[in-house]
Amino acid sequence: MISARMGSAAVTALVLLSGCGSVGVALGMRTRLDKLPVTAVSAKLSPQASLTPGKSGRLVLVASGTDGKTWTTVGAKHGDVLFDSYKLEPTVVKVNANGYVSLPADPRLSSRKSARVHITVVGHPDVQTDLDIPVKYNAAYAAHFPGASGNDGMSGIDGMAGADGVAGSASPANPGGNGGNGQDGSPGGNGSDGWPGQTVHVSVTLQPGPTPLIQVRAKGDRDEEFFLIDPEGGSLSIDAFGGEGGRGGRGGRGGRGGSGGIGVPGGMAGNSGLDGSDGQPGSDGKPGKIIVTIDPAAEAFRDKLHFATRRGAGAGAEFHTEAVPPLW
């Protein structure tokens, strides 16, 4: 017999697994606003009002009616209103179907621009609001330009089991046969060495404007990234470590010795084969190289930039001071 609690749990699981808002609406667990007396809507971003490049937050939308009743979107204080109750029109940021707002990681897409989401209640085209989202650049950014990792060694082949001894009989003249010895496992292959870290060319300058912001372009052998850093709380760490060496392959297991045959006396069991030795790991690749060209105006903020080409060591950059024009 299914209890009421079990039935409720099953219904909840159905809604969660199906991912279908219409099922939740039909069961009374989710709400849409198009048929409700909505007269106003407010919006905020959670858990904080601002975003930094590459980060996201969730919209919290609260609709209200003339009688003071409110309806909150799902995911915030157990609200039940589906996000498809709203038409969301983002500028600079992106918004997905679950109400998550994300700012592009590339600061060239947000610098000197206003991020906002224009919100309209479906079924109530006159009920609208705008959410302005402050964009900040005071994060601790990191960029990695490693060499490729080495390949792992192949595992050794397990030894074959020894043959079981032939059975004798209860007569002393018919002892059981001895079991055969198992084969030794073969050794694992050695991992290959990691590749050298990338050579990274870093350009640093100040963005023109009343507030000092540091523009950075980091271009490696394969990758290129851009950063905009507020020196009041922001920083950037760049590393170019050699690739990790591949793991040594596992040695093959020795084969099981064969069982002695039944008889009087019983046959002797065979010896198990020896396990193969594990392969040796490959060596880490050589450190990469970081070459920094910094504009004289940005020299005052050099302490906001950190470079490393060896794990556990902070040094590793070659600096040149010369004029660097705006990077975008």
Same domain, 88 and 234: no
Quote the CA–CA distance of 254 and 271 in Å, as a whole number: 10
Same domain, 101 and 227: no
Q: pTM for the full model?
A: 0.77
Low pLDDT (below 70) residues in the chain: 1-29, 76, 170-172, 312-315
Instruction: Give me the pLDDT at residue 25, please.
Output: 56
**18 belongs to a structural domain:** no
Same domain, 51 and 199: no
Same domain, 151 and 286: yes
**261 belongs to a structural domain:** yes
Same domain, 171 and 316: yes
Same domain, 195 and 323: yes
Same domain, 220 and 306: yes
Same domain, 66 and 174: no
Instruction: Give me the pLDDT at residue 66, please.
Output: 86
Do the Cβ atoms of 220 and 289 come closer than 8 Å?
Answer: no
Sign of the Cα torsion 142, 313, 194, 279 reads negative
Q: What does DSSP say about strands 235-239 and 140-144: parallel, antiparallel, or unpaired?
A: parallel
Sign of the Cα torsion 172, 173, 174, 179 reads positive
Which is nearest to 177 in space by CA: 190, 192, 162, 166? 166
Which of these three, 133, 167, 196, is where a domain ends? 133
Same domain, 115 and 96: yes
**265 belongs to a structural domain:** yes
**15 belongs to a structural domain:** no
Q: Which structural domain range is residue 93 located in?
A: 36-133
**28 belongs to a structural domain:** no
Instruction: Give me the pLDDT at residue 310, please.
Output: 86
Same domain, 102 and 185: no
Same domain, 76 and 213: no
**CATH code for the domain in which residue 87 is found:** 2.60.40
**63 belongs to a structural domain:** yes
Q: Is 37 helix (H, G, I), strand (E, B) or coil?
A: coil
Same domain, 214 and 326: yes
- Counting the structural domains of the chain, the total is 2
Instruction: Give me the pLDDT at residue 12, please.
Output: 53
Instruction: Give me the pLDDT at residue 210, please.
Output: 87
**203 belongs to a structural domain:** yes
Identity at 253, one-letter amino acid code: R
Which of these three, 78, 100, 133, is where a domain ends? 133
**7 belongs to a structural domain:** no
Instruction: Give me the pLDDT at residue 18, please.
Output: 43
Which of these three, 133, 167, 183, is where a domain ends? 133
